[in-house]
Amino acid sequence: MRVFNGRPLHALRLIAIVFAFVAVFAVVVAFGASVGHRAQLLTAGLMMFAGLASYEVWRGARDELPRARLVMAGLFAVMAIVLAARTALPWLSPESELADVFYDPLGGLSSLVNSISIVGLSIALLMMANERTSDRHRRLALTDELTGLPNRRYFLTQAELLLRRHGRDTLACILMMDLDRFSKVNQRFGHAGGDEALVWFASLLRRQLRSSDLVARYGGEEFCALLMSANQAQALATAERIRASLAAEPVAIQGQRHPVTVSIGVALLRSGEIAAALQKADQALYRAKAEGRNRVAAEQGFDVRLAAN
């Protein structure tokens, strides 16, 4: 289950556990423990691993769809509880019953429950694998493969969900960003070099924006961001910080430093109208391009001097 969760399986730790159990079991046998007590020791070992497996499956539910994981964690937990009862209850029975044969205080119920659980675990594991595959395909459909940022489809869908959650009248702004003269980067370094520049800018956006902001690669060399709980003055300040950070440091492309700049359009989101805000931010972006590039422009009707104050 650790491997299935993408966590490392420490071979030395596993070997140490096996040797420790063998050593304890050898000592128990050497001191003349009965068959019943030996069986209890083995059952206790199985109980421990069933409990640890249940915990490992449960902790993985934070990263993946929990439906099949909850089923699997529950089955491992049931096995651990049954094995715990099977370990503890024989101590309440006469010692003579533990001496020569294994005594099952549950009357075979533990074997039945464990057998059913193993079948259920096999089915749950297939469900988990199927959910993981489906989730991977969904992520690929909503993620830009090159930059790792969400794509346009995810941006529009998630923006609608955020606005529905916070209310249509929530304060928010849209940034539309386009790398300037990007065709020259492709001409000089090829498309592979252009890809490096896009990845660089995506990394810069992750550093400059808040975790509550939604950022995506909108298409080509164009990026967009939804700044939640930000007025236009705050959005303009954020846009200017992004522009200045990119302009201040040449991008490393194929071992060479090449200056890359970005033009940014800013628009206020009104009444939850994403499409209208995107259009206004796009118009502001084209105005920034027309005015000389490497600059930030606000939508028409907004007093930039107010933002400066």
Structure tokens that stand for 23 in this block: 């050593």
* Number of independent structural domains in the chain: 2
Residue whose token pair is 């010692």: 95
Identify the domain boundary among 114, 142, 170. 142
Residue 28 pLDDT greater than 60, yes or no: yes
Identify the domain boundary among 123, 142, 161. 142
Are 124 and 199 in the same domain? no
Q: Classify residue 258 by its DSSP letter.
A: E
Are 131 and 212 in the same domain? no
Closest by CA to 73, choosing from 50, 45, 101, is 50
Are 78 and 197 in the same domain? no
Are 31 and 173 in the same domain? no
4 occurs within a structural domain? no
CA distance 216 to 222: 9
pLDDT tens digits, 140-193: 678 898 999 999 999 999 999 888 888 878 899 999 999 999 999 999 999 999
Are 283 and 161 in the same domain? yes
158 occurs within a structural domain? yes
CATH number at residue 216: 3.30.70.270
Are 118 and 171 in the same domain? no
Are 118 and 239 in the same domain? no
Containing domain of residue 197, as a range?
152-308
pLDDT tens digits, 203-245: 999 999 998 999 999 999 999 999 999 998 999 999 999 999 9
**In this predicted structure, what is the pLDDT of residue 181?**
93
242 occurs within a structural domain? yes
**Mean pLDDT in residue range 263-284:** 93
6 occurs within a structural domain? no
Are 119 and 15 in the same domain? yes
* 160 belongs to the catalytic site: no
**Mean pLDDT in residue range 86-90:** 80
**In this predicted structure, what is the pLDDT of residue 100?**
59
Are 168 and 54 in the same domain? no
Catalytic residue among 56, 64, 97, 221: 221
pLDDT tens digits, 239-259: 999 999 999 988 989 888 899
Computed on alpha carbons and rounded to an integer, the radius of gyration of the chain in Å comes to: 30
Percent of the chain that is helix, strand, coil (3-state, to 5): 65, 15, 25
Closest by CA to 228, choosing from 161, 299, 149, is 161
263 occurs within a structural domain? yes
* Predicted model pTM: 0.61
Are 15 and 100 in the same domain? yes
Are 304 and 156 in the same domain? yes
**In this predicted structure, what is the pLDDT of residue 306?**
37
Burial of 261 (0-12, 13-18, 19+ CB in 10 A): middle
